[in-house]
Amino acid sequence: MRKRILWLGLSFLLVAALVLASCAPSVEKEVPQSRFEGIEIYFIAGAAGDPFQTVVSKGLADAVEDFGVDLKVVFTGWDTTIMIEKFKEAVALEPDGIIVWGLEPIKPHIDEAIAKGIIVTTWGVPLQELEDAHAAQGLGYVGASNYPAGYKLATETARRFNLGPGDKAMVWGLLHQPVRGLRSKGCIEGLEEAGLTVDYLEITDAVNADPAAGIPVIAAYLAANPDTDVVVTDHGGMTSTLPEYLESAGYGPDEILGVGFDFTPVTVRGIQSGYIDLILDQQQYLEGYLSVLNVCLTKYGGFSGLHIDSGAGFGHAENIDFIIPLAEAGIR
């Protein structure tokens, strides 16, 4: 009997505790801040609205959401002079970090920034000698390896479309830029090794900033060179514009090969239309997202700068169905 009374008493206390717990006011748990919260970073970007830059900017936006950093994006229209000027302005403000397109003329200004204790990392174009000197201070890189990327695209173009001696290519590139131009050089040398005759056109500053300005250039070239089999655009925004280039020159889908770099939603539509036949995908979303992480890791833990090859897969009609939803989400 005593055991029964004891058991009933314990049961009553348990029920009472549960009732009281259910009536107690709920206490919301504090959401912990990101360990990178408040790190101030400047990102020196290309042209606002450029299809290539738009995907990079999606990577930046996701990095802000995931890491809680204070990110300021400065657009330059891909103008080298403006990029350097905006970098110098950012240095004067002494943020925690600056992310910049790798330019040869910017090297002394990067040295100055690092001397002030600012973390600098590069995107799009690597500055290997500077990385070797300042990796311990956080100088890294996110982007494709330029010469190998160009060479791989060229050799895959020749292999996939059975091109060789007797065929002709035009490469539209940026050889005048010492490091960035290595991708154009890789394209030319890979095609020539496959036996193609290669013409080269330099991308002017006007076309670099606004790819649509190249429409009369390509129309005039193809009118004078109707034996051209493939056009290679060494520029993400210009690759997106290939359908307009070829259509304005009087070509229909699949009448001439269009080859270039970088997935964007516009490029995806170009592949679907038959005007773009092959691209090398450097996954430029990662150039935004991982470059921010690069700065954060150095600020947080004193980690050395990471050199990250953001990828070199190929896009074409056979795998476009996989890419379409990713492009619609803005990450490819």
State the total domains in the chain.
Answer: 2
For residue 15, tell me if it sits in a domain: no
For residue 325, tell me if it sits in a domain: no
For residue 171, tell me if it sits in a domain: yes
Are 88 and 157 contained in the same domain? no
For residue 113, tell me if it sits in a domain: yes
Are 178 and 254 contained in the same domain? yes
Cα–Cα distance measured from residue 47 to residue 25, given in angstroms and rounded to the nearest whole number: 52
Cα–Cα distance measured from residue 218 to residue 230, given in angstroms and rounded to the nearest whole number: 12
For residue 49, tell me if it sits in a domain: yes
User: E-strand spans in 28-80?
Assistant: 40-45, 70-75
Are 291 and 266 contained in the same domain? no
Cα–Cα distance measured from residue 238 to residue 296, given in angstroms and rounded to the nearest whole number: 32
Query: Which pLDDT score, from 0 to 100, does residue 5 have?
Result: 41
Are 137 and 241 contained in the same domain? no
DSSP letter for each residue of 119-151:
EEEEESS--HHHHHHHGGGT--EEE--HHHHHH
Query: 255-269 pLDDT, tens per residue?
Result: 999 999 988 889 999
Are 267 and 159 contained in the same domain? yes
Residue with tokens 């470059």: 291
Are 267 and 151 contained in the same domain? yes
Cα–Cα distance measured from residue 254 to residue 172, given in angstroms and rounded to the nearest whole number: 19
The CATH number given to whatever domain includes residue 114 is 3.40.50.2300
For residue 193, tell me if it sits in a domain: yes
**Host H or E run for residue 280:** strand 278-281
Are 308 and 269 contained in the same domain? no
Are 272 and 288 contained in the same domain? no
Are 248 and 190 contained in the same domain? yes
Query: Which pLDDT score, from 0 to 100, does residue 50 have?
Result: 86
Tokens representing 150 are 């160009």
Are 249 and 297 contained in the same domain? no
For residue 276, tell me if it sits in a domain: yes
Residues of the chain with confidence (pLDDT) below 50: 1-32
Are 49 and 103 contained in the same domain? yes
What SS3 class is residue 116? coil
Tokens representing 230 are 């493939």
- Residue span of the structural domain in which 277 resides: 146-281
DSSP letter for each residue of 166-214:
T-EEEEEE-TTSTTTHHHHHHHHHHHHHTT-EEEEEEPPHHHHH-GGGG
Are 302 and 208 contained in the same domain? no
